[in-house]
Structure 1
Amino acid sequence: MNADIIRLWPEPLAQIDDDSLLATYEFPEGPWLRMNFVSSIDGAATRDGRSGGLGGDGDGRLFELLRRQADVILVGGGTVRTEGYGAMRLANDAVAWRRDHGMEEQPVLALVSGSLDLDPKSDVFTEAPVRPIIYTVSTAPAERREALSAVADIVPAGTEHLDPWLVREDLAARGLVHIHSEGGPSLFGSFIVAGAVDEICLTVAATLEAGDARRIANSAQALPTGMRIAAVLKCEDELFLRCMHTATDI
């Protein structure tokens, strides 16, 4: 397949190169949390249980570029298991780009897990180029906390329920202000309800799925949150939307 991406709005641009894509999605100064998701036209967040089945070549290209800009990649523990995450290690060209832009060579991987149902022997930890962070609740099982503390920093961010703002505040205190989150739906939902999402980058896959797949955001509560479109791009039949909270500007 062809992974050429064109920008439709603002300022249409045909066959946009990587530098122009990165400029289109540039983080603003200061703390910022971006969510990145793919969805079918009818709202399915997964195919056969995984989001990776929905995205095409254009989505894959953009997925890798968006990671390049981030200080930290934030992801839920369930998503790590379901999507088969390995060590968070960027390719050499991304490392060179980060070095040229005064960034650390690799982003930090931060996981969110109230249960700490994570394998400390997983490549996510044992092959990580930078020590990961795990945000959890103070009531998480002590034996799992002890096992994982050998391979990651364990940070309580709530008692029984994780507080998204405590996560953001701790990351900012570590100098990790540009947060790129890859979900999943429960994490996204909790951050929406907390008012902690600045931006979403959404790939709309040209497919109808039906079935019982989840939406990209799930929570027990609802909090309607106004967003504005900042950019629209396209690759073949995939559509890419960059949307920001209406209270923010760059």
Structure 2
Amino acid sequence: MGYLLAVAEVRYRKLDALTDDEVYAAYEPPADDWLRVNFVSSADGAATLEGLSGPLSGEEDKRVFKVLRARCDVLLAGSGTVAAEGYGPLVLSPDRMAWRRAHGLPEVPVMAVASRTLADLDPAAGIFTEAPRRAIVIVPTDLPEAQVAPFREVADVIATGTGAVDYAAAVDALRERGLRQILCEGGPRVFGDLIAADLADELDLTLSPLLAGAGSIRIAEGTASDAARPLELRHVLEAGGNLILRYLRDSTDE
């Protein structure tokens, strides 16, 4: 990773004490090309309750969730997460759209869905047909055209990798389209692949004050990484017992 990160004192603050402008400033990306991952987990490390992340999340962390969406050029999610969590068309509230306009951005980001098979996606779903900006589907190059063709009618297709999505090439393709600020919302297998490919610049993690118990998956699954990736804690926000953490990749160039 070739960027430099300034050393900063870790700050602990109450989220309710921050203005919207302060929350936006707290998540200023350090570089023009940036990939941040946003997750929620239980206090004992579960990524889901009864198969969904939604029950772990609440209004407390949704404020940060919405700021992260407003700051990105493209929202990346795996097809399993899109299907399980019931993603609809990517829209923002009027105040978030106004913030984007004031900062020279289109009113909404682009939605990008990664899928190895497309089996759990429907080209007639609102995430594609009602999207304010044309969505993107990311698939392996060897996926049969008969499966891909229906999605070409409603989305741009990025094909990369054999048998599975090559996320390094996919990220390059997104940035070639000018989509340089990437927000990934999962799922755990996508995050695992991003870690393995050394692509994640930032982890924004909400620790929910719940104990899920045994059996739940972690926030990163799938492809094993060849090494642990050092992180630097930048801030801790507290809201309703939730700890909202911002970790940035440590730089070896300092």
Quick check: TM above 0.5?
A: yes
CA gap 1:214/1:237 in 2 versus in 1, 3 angstroms: same
Other structure's SS at 2:247 match:
strand
Deviations along 1:46-89, whole A, 9 cap, x unmatched? 11111010012111121111100000101001000000000001
Indicate the residue corresponding to 2:3 in structure 1: none
CA gap 1:11/1:209 in 2 versus in 1, 3 angstroms: closer
Matched, 1:240 2:244: yes
CA gap 1:248/1:128 in 2 versus in 1, 3 angstroms: farther
Query: 1:1-250 alignment to 2 at 5 Å?
Result: 9-10=10-11, 12=13, 15-117=17-119, 118-222=121-225, 223-247=227-251
Q: Aligned partners of 2:130, 2:196: CA distance in 1, in Å?
A: 34
Contact kept in structure 2, 1:126 and 1:151, CA below 8 Å: yes
Deviation at 1:161, TM superposition (A): 2.2
Deviation at 1:115, TM superposition (A): 0.3
Contact kept in structure 2, 1:115 and 1:141, CA below 8 Å: no
Contact kept in structure 1, 2:37 and 2:191, CA below 8 Å: yes
Other structure's SS at 2:68 match:
helix
| TM-score normalized by the length of structure 1 | 0.93
Q: Percent identity?
A: 41
Residue identity in the other structure for 1:91: S
Q: Aligned partners of 1:132, 1:98: CA distance in 2, in Å?
A: 18
Q: Aligned partners of 1:160, 1:129: CA distance in 2, in Å?
A: 31
| TM-score normalized by the length of structure 2 | 0.91
Where does structure 1 lack aligned partners over 5 or more consecutive residues?
A: 1-7
Indicate the residue corresponding to 2:4 in structure 1: none
CA gap 1:195/1:214 in 2 versus in 1, 3 angstroms: same
Residue identity in the other structure for 2:234: A
Deviations along 1:202-240, whole A, 9 cap, x unmatched? 000001001411100002423311111011111020001
Q: Pairwise CA RMSD of aligned residues?
A: 1.8
Task: Give the paired residue count.
Answer: 243
Contact kept in structure 1, 2:128 and 2:135, CA below 8 Å: yes
Structure 1 runs of 4+ with >4 Å offset = 11-14
CA gap 1:57/1:109 in 2 versus in 1, 3 angstroms: same
